[in-house]
Amino acid sequence: MTKELTGFKFIELLKPNKIFPFLFIFIGLLGAFNHVLWRDEMQGWLVAWRSDTWVELWQNNAPSGHPVLWSALIYLVKGFTGNPLSMQLLHWGLGSTAILCFWRWNPLPAWQKALFSFGYFPFWEYFLICRHYVLAELLTFVFCSSYPLRRRTYIPAAICIGLLTNTHAFAWSLAFAIGLALLFEWCISPLQRSTYKLNKLWHFDLFFSFLLILILAGFAAFSLFQVSDSVDQIPSLFDLRHFLRVFGRIFGGYLLIIPNYNNWLDLFVCGIITSGMLSITIAFLRRSPVALTFFLGGIVSLFLFNYFIYLGVGSRHYGYYYLMFISSIWLAIHPSNKDNSNVQNYSPRSNPFLLKLNSFFPILLTFSLAVHFGAGVHRTMYDFYRPYSAGKATAAYIKEKGWTDAEIFGSRDVEVSTVAGYLDKDFYYPEIQGYGSYAQWKKRKSLNREETLEQLQSYFEGKPSLNKALLVLSRGSSIKGLEPGQAIINGNIRILADQKFEKSWTDPERFYLYWAERLQ
C-alpha cells in the first residue's frame, strides 16, 4: 500500500501542472545565481543599498521618474545577503509567484500555459532581468486569479489597481483597464450588482475600495511628477509616421518584432498585420464584454501614452501589450463568466464574419505563444553562456589585483555604475563632477565620449596631490585601439592600458581598465 501511494505521488509530480512550474522556478533560481546585472538593474539595487532611511530612499529614487515601490521592496530585503543577490532572490520569488498564480487559476490548457511560462517576458525579461516590470506581471495575474472575489468585495481589485500605478508609468494602462472593466460590468450586469449587494457592508466595501485607489494612485502620480524631462515631444497632434511607429509596439507585443520606423513599407505592412491580429482578438473577446473592455481600455490607454507622452524603449516596454493580450484571454474564458448573463455566445447565423475571424484566434494565440517561447528559451539559456554585462568580471579582476582601495575614475557613469555596484565603491564620475555609485540623474550632465581625456586632465588638475588613478571606461570612450601594455601620453598624463573585458551581451557594458599617472 505504501509503495503504491509513493508511486501515485510520484506520478502526480510528473503532471504538467506540477512539473512545468517546478522547472520554471528551478531554472529561475539557477539563473538568479548566474545572471550578471546590467546598469538598470544595478541602479535599482544601489538606490536602495545606499539609502539609510526611508526618507533617503525617496530622495534617491525620485529623480529616476519611477514610483518607489520596487526600491522599497529592495530596501526591505537588502540586508539578507548584503549584496545584489538579495534583490535577485526577491525578484525570483515575485516572478515565481506570478507563474504559480498563472498555473493555478488560468483556465488555458497545460500546453499553452507551458508555452507562455517559458516565453520571452515571463521567463526572461520579467524574471531574470531584475526590474520593476515583474510587479506589473504579478499584480495583473493576482487580479485575474482573484477575479471571482468581485462578487463579494472589490478590495482585492482595488489593491491591485493601486499597486499597479506604483510599479511603472506604463502599468497605469493595466490599472485603467482593470478599473474600466469592473466599472463596465457594474453598469451592465444586474447579476454583479445583486450578488455584490448581498454583502451587508457593501457600501463600506465600495467606499474603502475607491479610497484605496485614490490614495495609492495619488501617491504614484506624485512620484511620476518628480521628473518630466523624459517625455517625448511629437511634432504635431497627428503624425502618421509616429502613429504607425507606436502601432508597431502592439505588433511587438504579439510577435516580438518592431518595424523599422525609417521604412514606410515596414510600418504599413506591420500596421496591416497588427490590425488583423487586433480584429481577430476582438472577435474572440466579444464572448465576454468585461474581457473585451479590459483589452480595449488597456490597449487604447497605453497607445495614447506611447503616442503623446513617452514611446518607450526596448521590449520590456511593449511587453505590456502582451500582458494585456494574455490577461484578457484569461478573463474571457474564466469559469465565473459562465454565470454572467451578459456573456455573448454569438452564432454563425448572427454574425458569420465575426465567427470567421474568431476561427483564426487559436492559430494566432498558438503562433504568438510559440514565438515568445522560442525567444524566451533561447535568451534565458544564452544568459548562462554569455553574461549580460562585463561589470561583474571587471569588478572581480579589480578585487583579485587588490585595487579596491585605489582612486577610481569612471565614465560613462550610467554604465560604469555596474562595476561600482559589484565593488560597492564610489567612483569619480565626470558626469557629476564628483563621487558616486549609481547614476544621479538630477545632477548629472551628459558628456560626449570624446571628452574623456579632457575630463581626466581636469580631474588631475583639481587634485594636485593625486599622482595615479585607475580608469574604468565603458565601450566607446575616446581612448581607442590600446591593447594591454600599450600607453599614450595626453598632456602631462601617461595612460597605460591594463585589461579589457569584452564578453558582454550589451555592447556599452564592455569595460576597459587603464592606469593614469601624472608625469613629473
pLDDT digits (tens, 9 = 90+) for 135-175: 999 999 999 999 999 999 999 999 999 999 999 999 999 99
Give domain status of residue 157, yes or no.
yes
Q: Of the residues 336, 351, 384, which one is the last residue of a structural domain?
A: 384
Whether 330 and 435 map to the same domain: the answer is no
Q: Distance (Å, rounded) from C-alpha 247 to C-alpha 132?
A: 24
Q: What pLDDT score does 233 carry?
A: 58
Q: What pLDDT score does 375 carry?
A: 97
- What is the four-CA torsion angle of 5, 11, 13, 16, rounded to 10 degrees? -150
Q: What pLDDT score does 452 carry?
A: 87
How much is the average pLDDT of 344-355? 60
Whether 354 and 441 map to the same domain: the answer is no
What sign has the CA pseudo-torsion 477, 482, 485, 488? negative
Give the least confident one: 91-100, 378-387, 449-458.
449-458
| More confident position, 138 or 353 | 138
Q: Of the residues 384, 414, 442, which one is the last residue of a structural domain?
A: 384
pLDDT band at 13 (very low <50, low <70, confident <90, very high): low
Whether 362 and 469 map to the same domain: the answer is no
Counted domains in the chain: 2
Contacts of 200 (CB under 8 A, 6+ apart): none
Q: Distance (Å, rounded) from C-alpha 428 to C-alpha 407?
A: 8
pLDDT band at 347 (very low <50, low <70, confident <90, very high): very low
396 has pLDDT over 80: yes
Q: What pLDDT score does 228 carry?
A: 57
- Report the greatest alpha carbon distance in the chain: 92
The answer to whether 369 and 116 have CB atoms below 8 angstroms apart is yes
Give domain status of residue 45, yes or no.
no
Whether 349 and 492 map to the same domain: the answer is no
Whether 362 and 511 map to the same domain: the answer is no
Q: What pLDDT score does 305 carry?
A: 94
pLDDT, tens digit (0-9, with 9 covering 90-100), for 223-232: 888 765 555 5
pLDDT band at 386 (very low <50, low <70, confident <90, very high): very high
| Averaged confidence pLDDT in the chain | 91
pLDDT band at 490 (very low <50, low <70, confident <90, very high): confident
Give domain status of residue 477, yes or no.
yes
Whether 360 and 396 map to the same domain: the answer is no
Whether 167 and 27 map to the same domain: the answer is yes
Contacts of 139 (CB under 8 A, 6+ apart): 160, 163, 164, 167, 171, 174
Q: What pLDDT score does 348 carry?
A: 41
Whether 298 and 423 map to the same domain: the answer is no
Give domain status of residue 51, yes or no.
no
Q: What pLDDT score does 4 carry?
A: 44
Q: What pLDDT score does 351 carry?
A: 75
How much is the average pLDDT of 302-313? 92
Give domain status of residue 358, yes or no.
yes
203 has pLDDT over 80: yes
For helices 289-308 and 171-188, angle between their N-to-C axes, nearest 10 degrees: 150
How much is the average pLDDT of 114-137? 97
253 has pLDDT over 80: yes
Whether 333 and 402 map to the same domain: the answer is no
What percentage of the chain has pLDDT greater than the value 90? 79
How much is the average pLDDT of 404-423? 95
Give domain status of residue 306, yes or no.
yes
Q: What pLDDT score does 234 carry?
A: 61
pLDDT band at 496 (very low <50, low <70, confident <90, very high): very high
How much is the average pLDDT of 94-106? 97
Whether 141 and 255 map to the same domain: the answer is yes
> What is the Cα 54 distance to its own chain's centre?
24
How much is the average pLDDT of 181-188? 96
478 has pLDDT over 70: no
Give domain status of residue 228, yes or no.
no
Read off the C-alpha cell for 405. Answer: 582601495
Q: What pLDDT score does 7 carry?
A: 47
Whether 375 and 422 map to the same domain: the answer is no
Range of the domain at 468: 391-518
pLDDT band at 73 (very low <50, low <70, confident <90, very high): very high
Q: What pLDDT score does 223 carry?
A: 85
For residue 63, the number of C-alpha atoms closer than 13 Å in the C-beta half-sphere is 12
| More confident position, 53 or 338 | 53
Give domain status of residue 71, yes or no.
no
Q: Of the residues 384, 402, 420, which one is the last residue of a structural domain?
A: 384
Q: Distance (Å, rounded) from C-alpha 396 to C-alpha 484?
A: 18
Whether 436 and 455 map to the same domain: the answer is yes
Q: What pLDDT score does 8 carry?
A: 47
Q: What pLDDT score does 343 carry?
A: 40
Q: What pLDDT score does 229 carry?
A: 56
385 has pLDDT over 90: yes
